[in-house]
Amino acid sequence: MGEEFYAIIKLISGEEIFSLVSTDENDGETVVILQNPIVIKSFSHNGHSLLKVKPWVELSDEDIFVIRFDKILTMTESRNKKLIEVYHNYLEDNDDDSNVYNTSGKVVVSQKMGYVISVEEARKKLEKIFKGLKES
């Protein structure tokens, strides 16, 4: 297996992928091995440049993919520190969100999503405070 490097890959399908990449020979054919490939889209909103990051294959639990070399239009090594940082931040955040769904398939709300307290618990606390203010 060849040396690992970060690369931006343009496939013949038109997709652009950012990934940690290495190459290998498979039955005399060169293949490209992608580790945790992502798609990064750049857009502007209210005068700010933003990046949207998502997995290349969204429904797969796999993190390593193999592509035949003839499916690649172009590939360039990326030493862009910001892109590499975005890539690593995405991977770290993605690991934290691995248990977003419970066994019934419903989203489990967490503090990271903004959940602080249930409505019922908040109502009880506020009523207690309000009653305490009325008595004084």
DSSP secondary structure of 29-53: EEEEEEEEEEEEEEEEETTEEEEEE
Asked whether residue 126 is assigned to any structural domain, the reply reads no
For tokens 């343009």, name the residue. Answer: 10
pLDDT at 106 over 90: no
Asked whether residue 52 is assigned to any structural domain, the reply reads yes
pLDDT of 100 reads: 56
Asked whether residue 130 is assigned to any structural domain, the reply reads no
pTM here is 0.66
CATH number of the domain that 37 lies in?
2.30.30.100
* Other beta carbons less than 10 A from residue 128's beta carbon: 10
**Structure confidence by residue, pLDDT tens digits, 87-96:** 998 888 776 5
